[in-house]
A = this chain, B = another copy of it.
Amino acid sequence: MSNGKQDIFVGAIEAGGTKFVCAVGSGPGEQLIEREQFPTSPDPSIVLEQAAQWLRDKQAQYGPLAAIGIASFGPVDLDKASPTYGYITSTPKAGWANTDIVGPMRAAFPGIPIGFDTDVNGAGLGEKRWGAAQGLDDFIYITVGTGLGGGGMARGELLHGLVHPEMGHMGLPRVGDDTFEGACPFHGRCWEGLCSGPAVEKRAGMPAEELPPDHPAWAITTRYMAHALVNLTCVLSPSRIVIGGSVRKGGQLGEAAFFKEVRRAYREIMADYIVSPALTEDGIADYIVPPLLGDDAGVCGAIALAQAALG
Protein backbone atom coordinates (compact mmCIF):
# COMPACT_ATOMS: atom_id res chain seq x y z
CA MET A 1 0.00 0.00 0.00
CA SER A 2 1.37 3.36 -1.00
CA ASN A 3 1.61 6.12 1.56
CA GLY A 4 1.58 8.56 -1.34
CA LYS A 5 -2.15 7.94 -1.72
CA GLN A 6 -2.71 9.08 1.83
CA ASP A 7 -4.32 12.44 1.13
CA ILE A 8 -6.54 11.39 -1.73
CA PHE A 9 -10.27 12.19 -1.54
CA VAL A 10 -12.29 8.99 -1.16
CA GLY A 11 -15.60 7.61 0.02
CA ALA A 12 -15.94 5.48 3.14
CA ILE A 13 -18.57 3.15 4.54
CA GLU A 14 -18.35 1.80 8.08
CA ALA A 15 -20.92 -0.99 7.88
CA GLY A 16 -21.88 -1.75 11.46
CA GLY A 17 -24.51 -4.10 12.76
CA THR A 18 -26.38 -1.18 14.35
CA LYS A 19 -25.64 1.69 12.00
CA PHE A 20 -23.94 2.53 8.72
CA VAL A 21 -21.60 5.50 8.83
CA CYS A 22 -20.73 7.04 5.45
CA ALA A 23 -18.08 9.67 4.95
CA VAL A 24 -16.03 11.46 2.33
CA GLY A 25 -12.60 12.88 2.90
CA SER A 26 -8.96 11.98 3.00
CA GLY A 27 -8.26 11.24 6.66
CA PRO A 28 -9.24 11.99 10.26
CA GLY A 29 -10.07 15.33 11.86
CA GLU A 30 -10.33 18.19 9.37
CA GLN A 31 -9.62 15.79 6.53
CA LEU A 32 -12.93 14.06 7.25
CA ILE A 33 -14.99 16.43 5.11
CA GLU A 34 -18.50 15.19 5.74
CA ARG A 35 -20.26 12.23 7.33
CA GLU A 36 -23.74 10.78 7.64
CA GLN A 37 -25.23 7.78 9.39
CA PHE A 38 -28.38 5.70 9.20
CA PRO A 39 -29.64 2.55 10.90
CA THR A 40 -28.74 -0.93 9.58
CA SER A 41 -32.36 -1.87 8.88
CA PRO A 42 -33.20 -5.47 7.97
CA ASP A 43 -33.39 -4.75 4.22
CA PRO A 44 -29.81 -4.58 2.90
CA SER A 45 -30.84 -3.36 -0.57
CA ILE A 46 -32.37 -0.23 0.94
CA VAL A 47 -29.42 0.43 3.26
CA LEU A 48 -26.85 -0.10 0.50
CA GLU A 49 -28.76 2.18 -1.89
CA GLN A 50 -28.93 4.81 0.84
CA ALA A 51 -25.16 4.63 1.21
CA ALA A 52 -24.59 4.74 -2.56
CA GLN A 53 -26.95 7.69 -3.00
CA TRP A 54 -25.26 9.67 -0.25
CA LEU A 55 -21.85 9.06 -1.80
CA ARG A 56 -23.21 10.02 -5.25
CA ASP A 57 -24.51 13.30 -3.81
CA LYS A 58 -21.18 14.06 -2.18
CA GLN A 59 -19.40 13.24 -5.42
CA ALA A 60 -21.63 15.78 -7.20
CA GLN A 61 -20.84 18.29 -4.47
CA TYR A 62 -17.10 17.80 -3.95
CA GLY A 63 -15.83 16.07 -7.08
CA PRO A 64 -14.89 12.49 -7.97
CA LEU A 65 -14.12 9.85 -5.34
CA ALA A 66 -10.83 8.14 -6.18
CA ALA A 67 -11.88 4.98 -4.34
CA ILE A 68 -14.38 3.64 -1.84
CA GLY A 69 -13.55 1.74 1.33
CA ILE A 70 -15.94 -0.56 3.15
CA ALA A 71 -15.17 -1.75 6.70
CA SER A 72 -17.90 -4.23 7.53
CA PHE A 73 -19.31 -6.26 10.37
CA GLY A 74 -18.97 -9.94 9.68
CA PRO A 75 -18.28 -12.66 9.09
CA VAL A 76 -17.30 -11.53 5.60
CA ASP A 77 -15.68 -13.26 2.63
CA LEU A 78 -12.24 -11.68 1.99
CA ASP A 79 -11.02 -14.25 -0.53
CA LYS A 80 -10.74 -12.42 -3.84
CA ALA A 81 -10.85 -15.74 -5.69
CA SER A 82 -14.16 -16.72 -4.09
CA PRO A 83 -17.51 -16.30 -5.88
CA THR A 84 -18.84 -14.68 -2.71
CA TYR A 85 -15.96 -12.21 -2.23
CA GLY A 86 -17.34 -9.03 -0.70
CA TYR A 87 -20.30 -10.76 0.95
CA ILE A 88 -21.41 -10.71 4.55
CA THR A 89 -21.80 -14.47 5.06
CA SER A 90 -23.20 -16.29 8.10
CA THR A 91 -24.26 -13.39 10.31
CA PRO A 92 -27.18 -14.01 12.67
CA LYS A 93 -28.31 -10.41 11.97
CA ALA A 94 -31.82 -10.53 10.49
CA GLY A 95 -31.90 -9.97 6.74
CA TRP A 96 -28.13 -9.71 6.31
CA ALA A 97 -26.91 -13.31 5.91
CA ASN A 98 -25.33 -14.00 2.50
CA THR A 99 -25.50 -10.39 1.39
CA ASP A 100 -23.25 -9.02 -1.35
CA ILE A 101 -22.15 -5.58 -0.21
CA VAL A 102 -19.21 -4.94 -2.53
CA GLY A 103 -21.19 -5.88 -5.69
CA PRO A 104 -23.87 -3.17 -5.37
CA MET A 105 -21.16 -0.56 -4.73
CA ARG A 106 -19.22 -1.71 -7.80
CA ALA A 107 -22.44 -1.40 -9.81
CA ALA A 108 -23.13 2.06 -8.41
CA PHE A 109 -19.56 3.30 -8.95
CA PRO A 110 -18.24 1.48 -12.02
CA GLY A 111 -14.48 1.62 -12.47
CA ILE A 112 -13.78 2.96 -8.99
CA PRO A 113 -11.50 0.76 -6.83
CA ILE A 114 -13.20 -0.62 -3.75
CA GLY A 115 -11.32 -1.65 -0.62
CA PHE A 116 -13.08 -4.15 1.62
CA ASP A 117 -12.23 -5.72 4.96
CA THR A 118 -13.63 -6.38 8.40
CA ASP A 119 -14.60 -3.44 10.61
CA VAL A 120 -11.78 -4.25 13.03
CA ASN A 121 -9.13 -4.68 10.33
CA GLY A 122 -10.32 -1.38 8.88
CA ALA A 123 -10.10 0.35 12.25
CA GLY A 124 -6.68 -1.23 12.76
CA LEU A 125 -5.50 0.15 9.43
CA GLY A 126 -6.80 3.60 10.39
CA GLU A 127 -4.91 3.44 13.71
CA LYS A 128 -1.81 2.28 11.84
CA ARG A 129 -1.95 5.24 9.48
CA TRP A 130 -3.06 8.04 11.78
CA GLY A 131 -3.44 6.70 15.30
CA ALA A 132 -2.12 4.48 18.07
CA ALA A 133 -0.46 1.88 15.83
CA GLN A 134 1.72 4.19 13.76
CA GLY A 135 5.06 2.64 12.91
CA LEU A 136 4.04 -0.83 14.11
CA ASP A 137 3.95 -3.91 11.87
CA ASP A 138 2.43 -6.23 14.47
CA PHE A 139 -0.51 -5.01 16.50
CA ILE A 140 -4.08 -5.89 17.38
CA TYR A 141 -7.18 -3.72 17.30
CA ILE A 142 -10.05 -4.86 19.52
CA THR A 143 -13.55 -3.45 19.68
CA VAL A 144 -15.67 -4.27 22.70
CA GLY A 145 -19.21 -3.00 22.35
CA THR A 146 -22.40 -4.67 21.11
CA GLY A 147 -20.10 -7.42 19.86
CA LEU A 148 -16.45 -8.11 20.53
CA GLY A 149 -14.01 -8.56 17.68
CA GLY A 150 -10.38 -8.15 16.80
CA GLY A 151 -8.21 -7.52 13.78
CA GLY A 152 -4.86 -5.97 13.08
CA MET A 153 -1.60 -6.75 11.39
CA ALA A 154 1.16 -9.32 11.44
CA ARG A 155 4.41 -8.32 9.75
CA GLY A 156 2.71 -5.32 8.18
CA GLU A 157 -0.20 -7.17 6.58
CA LEU A 158 -3.84 -7.16 7.73
CA LEU A 159 -4.84 -10.48 9.32
CA HIS A 160 -6.85 -12.68 6.96
CA GLY A 161 -6.33 -16.45 6.69
CA LEU A 162 -8.91 -19.20 6.49
CA VAL A 163 -11.67 -16.60 6.96
CA HIS A 164 -10.56 -13.75 9.21
CA PRO A 165 -9.98 -13.54 12.95
CA GLU A 166 -13.02 -13.93 15.20
CA MET A 167 -11.12 -13.08 18.36
CA GLY A 168 -14.23 -12.49 20.45
CA HIS A 169 -15.04 -16.20 20.42
CA MET A 170 -11.87 -17.31 22.18
CA GLY A 171 -12.44 -19.31 25.37
CA LEU A 172 -11.01 -17.98 28.65
CA PRO A 173 -10.10 -19.33 32.09
CA ARG A 174 -12.77 -18.86 34.72
CA VAL A 175 -12.21 -15.93 37.08
CA GLY A 176 -12.48 -17.17 40.67
CA ASP A 177 -15.71 -19.10 41.17
CA ASP A 178 -17.66 -16.98 38.67
CA THR A 179 -20.84 -18.82 37.74
CA PHE A 180 -22.16 -16.40 35.08
CA GLU A 181 -23.28 -18.51 32.12
CA GLY A 182 -22.22 -15.94 29.54
CA ALA A 183 -24.15 -14.23 26.77
CA CYS A 184 -22.89 -15.78 23.52
CA PRO A 185 -25.55 -17.88 21.77
CA PHE A 186 -22.81 -20.11 20.31
CA HIS A 187 -20.30 -20.45 23.14
CA GLY A 188 -21.82 -19.02 26.30
CA ARG A 189 -18.71 -17.95 28.17
CA CYS A 190 -16.36 -16.97 25.34
CA TRP A 191 -14.68 -13.53 25.49
CA GLU A 192 -17.62 -11.84 23.75
CA GLY A 193 -20.03 -13.78 25.97
CA LEU A 194 -18.23 -12.43 29.05
CA CYS A 195 -17.16 -8.88 28.15
CA SER A 196 -19.37 -7.39 25.41
CA GLY A 197 -21.87 -4.70 26.31
CA PRO A 198 -24.82 -7.12 26.33
CA ALA A 199 -22.76 -9.56 28.45
CA VAL A 200 -21.98 -6.92 31.08
CA GLU A 201 -25.65 -5.89 31.08
CA LYS A 202 -26.80 -9.50 31.47
CA ARG A 203 -24.38 -10.05 34.35
CA ALA A 204 -25.08 -6.82 36.21
CA GLY A 205 -28.73 -6.28 35.35
CA MET A 206 -28.02 -2.82 33.98
CA PRO A 207 -26.11 -1.37 31.02
CA ALA A 208 -22.35 -0.86 31.38
CA GLU A 209 -22.83 2.90 31.04
CA GLU A 210 -24.96 2.94 34.21
CA LEU A 211 -22.83 0.63 36.37
CA PRO A 212 -21.47 2.44 39.45
CA PRO A 213 -17.67 2.55 39.61
CA ASP A 214 -17.56 0.15 42.58
CA HIS A 215 -19.90 -2.45 41.04
CA PRO A 216 -18.18 -5.87 41.22
CA ALA A 217 -18.93 -6.46 37.51
CA TRP A 218 -16.11 -4.04 36.67
CA ALA A 219 -13.46 -6.03 38.52
CA ILE A 220 -14.56 -9.28 36.93
CA THR A 221 -14.97 -7.82 33.42
CA THR A 222 -11.54 -6.16 33.45
CA ARG A 223 -9.97 -9.39 34.66
CA TYR A 224 -11.55 -11.39 31.81
CA MET A 225 -10.31 -8.67 29.44
CA ALA A 226 -6.82 -9.14 30.85
CA HIS A 227 -6.97 -12.93 30.41
CA ALA A 228 -7.94 -12.39 26.77
CA LEU A 229 -5.17 -9.86 26.14
CA VAL A 230 -2.57 -12.18 27.69
CA ASN A 231 -3.77 -14.86 25.28
CA LEU A 232 -3.41 -12.44 22.35
CA THR A 233 0.17 -11.67 23.37
CA CYS A 234 0.92 -15.40 23.63
CA VAL A 235 -0.56 -16.23 20.21
CA LEU A 236 0.40 -13.23 18.06
CA SER A 237 3.05 -11.29 20.01
CA PRO A 238 1.60 -7.91 19.02
CA SER A 239 3.73 -4.83 19.72
CA ARG A 240 0.63 -3.01 20.96
CA ILE A 241 -3.04 -3.77 21.66
CA VAL A 242 -5.54 -1.01 20.88
CA ILE A 243 -8.98 -1.34 22.48
CA GLY A 244 -11.95 0.56 21.06
CA GLY A 245 -15.70 0.17 21.47
CA SER A 246 -18.10 1.50 24.07
CA VAL A 247 -17.33 -0.85 26.97
CA ARG A 248 -13.68 0.27 27.04
CA LYS A 249 -14.93 3.70 28.10
CA GLY A 250 -15.70 2.08 31.45
CA GLY A 251 -19.06 3.77 32.00
CA GLN A 252 -19.03 5.64 35.31
CA LEU A 253 -15.74 3.96 36.21
CA GLY A 254 -14.13 5.94 33.38
CA GLU A 255 -11.76 4.99 30.62
CA ALA A 256 -8.58 5.69 32.58
CA ALA A 257 -9.61 3.48 35.50
CA PHE A 258 -10.83 0.73 33.14
CA PHE A 259 -7.48 0.60 31.34
CA LYS A 260 -5.52 0.85 34.58
CA GLU A 261 -7.32 -2.19 35.99
CA VAL A 262 -6.96 -4.20 32.75
CA ARG A 263 -3.24 -3.45 32.65
CA ARG A 264 -2.75 -4.36 36.33
CA ALA A 265 -4.57 -7.68 35.91
CA TYR A 266 -2.68 -8.38 32.66
CA ARG A 267 0.68 -8.07 34.43
CA GLU A 268 -0.52 -10.24 37.29
CA ILE A 269 -1.70 -13.00 34.93
CA MET A 270 1.35 -12.83 32.63
CA ALA A 271 3.52 -13.21 35.76
CA ASP A 272 6.61 -11.77 34.01
CA TYR A 273 6.86 -14.81 31.76
CA ILE A 274 7.35 -12.85 28.55
CA VAL A 275 10.15 -10.35 29.15
CA SER A 276 9.92 -7.08 27.25
CA PRO A 277 10.18 -3.40 28.20
CA ALA A 278 6.62 -3.07 26.82
CA LEU A 279 5.26 -5.40 29.50
CA THR A 280 6.86 -3.80 32.55
CA GLU A 281 4.94 -1.68 35.04
CA ASP A 282 6.21 1.39 33.19
CA GLY A 283 5.76 0.02 29.69
CA ILE A 284 2.29 -1.46 29.92
CA ALA A 285 0.52 1.92 29.68
CA ASP A 286 1.84 2.19 26.11
CA TYR A 287 1.09 -1.45 25.33
CA ILE A 288 -2.64 -1.63 26.12
CA VAL A 289 -4.16 1.62 24.87
CA PRO A 290 -7.40 3.23 23.63
CA PRO A 291 -7.62 4.24 19.95
CA LEU A 292 -6.14 7.65 19.14
CA LEU A 293 -8.92 8.16 16.58
CA GLY A 294 -11.53 7.46 19.27
CA ASP A 295 -14.99 6.81 17.88
CA ASP A 296 -13.75 7.77 14.40
CA ALA A 297 -11.46 4.70 14.23
CA GLY A 298 -14.04 2.76 12.19
CA VAL A 299 -14.87 5.36 9.58
CA CYS A 300 -11.24 6.49 9.27
CA GLY A 301 -10.42 2.82 8.78
CA ALA A 302 -12.80 2.74 5.83
CA ILE A 303 -11.01 5.79 4.39
CA ALA A 304 -7.70 3.99 4.84
CA LEU A 305 -9.09 0.88 3.12
CA ALA A 306 -10.19 3.03 0.18
CA GLN A 307 -6.74 4.60 -0.10
CA ALA A 308 -5.08 1.19 0.22
CA ALA A 309 -7.24 -0.03 -2.70
CA LEU A 310 -5.45 2.54 -4.88
CA GLY A 311 -2.36 0.36 -4.58
B173 and A237 within 8 A (CB): no
Contacts of A274 in B (CB 8 A): 75, 162-163, 166, 169
Tell me the chain A residues, 126-172 only, with Cβ under 8 Å from chain B.
Answer: 138, 150, 154-172
Contact of A171 among B157, B166, B269 (CB under 8 A): B269
Whether A157 touches B157, Cβ cut-off 8 Å, given contacts A170-B231, A186-B273, is yes
Assess whether A273 is in contact with B169, with CB atoms less than 8 Å apart. yes
Known: A75-B274, A275-B75. A237 touches B154 (CB 8 A): no
User: Is the CB of A174 closer than 8 A to any CB of chain B?
Assistant: yes
Oligomeric state, in number of copies?
A: 2
Whether A238 and B150, one on each chain, are in contact in the complex, defined by CB atoms closer than 8 angstroms, is: no
Are A236 and B237 in contact, with the CB atoms below 8 A? no
Query: What residues of B have a CB within 8 angstroms of the CB of A249 in the complex?
Result: none
CA distance A279 to B168 in the complex (A): 18
> Taking the complex as formed, is A292 at the interface, i.e. its CB lies under 8 A from any CB of chain B?
no
Task: Return the chain B residue nearest A158 by Cβ.
Answer: B155
Q: Are B172 and A234 in contact (CB under 8 A)?
A: no
Contact A154 B162 (CB under 8 A): no
CA–CA, A210 and B154, complex, Å:
40
Name A90's closest neighbour in chain B (CB-CB): B275
Given contacts A157-B157, A170-B231, A174-B173, contact A164 B273 (CB under 8 A): no
Interface size on A, residues (CB 8 A): 49
A68–B159 Cα distance when bound, in Å, is: 31
Measured in the bound complex, the distance between the Cα atoms of B110 and A305 in whole Å is: 45
Bound-state CA distance A280–B95 (Å) is 25
Query: Chain B residues near A165 (CB, 8 Å)?
Result: 234-237
C-alpha spacing A222/B64, complex, angstroms = 57
Contact indicator B163/A273 (Cβ below 8 Å): no
Partner of A163, one of B161, B189, B227, B276: B276
Tell me if A99 is interfacial: C-beta within 8 Å of chain B. no
Query: Counting CB contacts under 8 A, is A232 at the interface?
Result: yes
A287 to B: closest C-beta gap in Å = 8
Assess whether A235 is in contact with B232, with CB atoms less than 8 Å apart: yes
Distance in Å: Cβ of A183 to nearest Cβ of chain B: 14
Q: How far is the CA of A160 from the CA of B235 in the complex (A)?
A: 10
Interface string of A280-298 (1 = CB under 8 A from B): 0000000000000000000
Apart from A186-B272, A231-B231, A235-B235: 13 A-B pairs, beta carbons within 8 A: A154-B155, A155-B160, A159-B237, A161-B237, A161-B238, A162-B238, A163-B237, A163-B276, A166-B234, A171-B230, A173-B189, A232-B235, A236-B236
Closest 8 A-B residue pairs measured CB to CB?
A: A161-B237, A154-B154, A138-B161, A155-B157, A171-B173, A186-B273, A90-B275, A170-B234
The contact sample of 26 A-B pairs, CB cut-off 8 A, is A75-B275, A90-B275, A138-B161, A154-B154, A154-B161, A154-B236, A155-B160, A156-B157, A159-B237, A162-B279, A163-B237, A163-B276, A164-B237, A165-B234, A166-B234, A166-B274, A169-B230, A169-B274, A171-B172, A171-B230, A171-B231, A174-B174, A186-B273, A187-B269, A231-B231, A235-B235
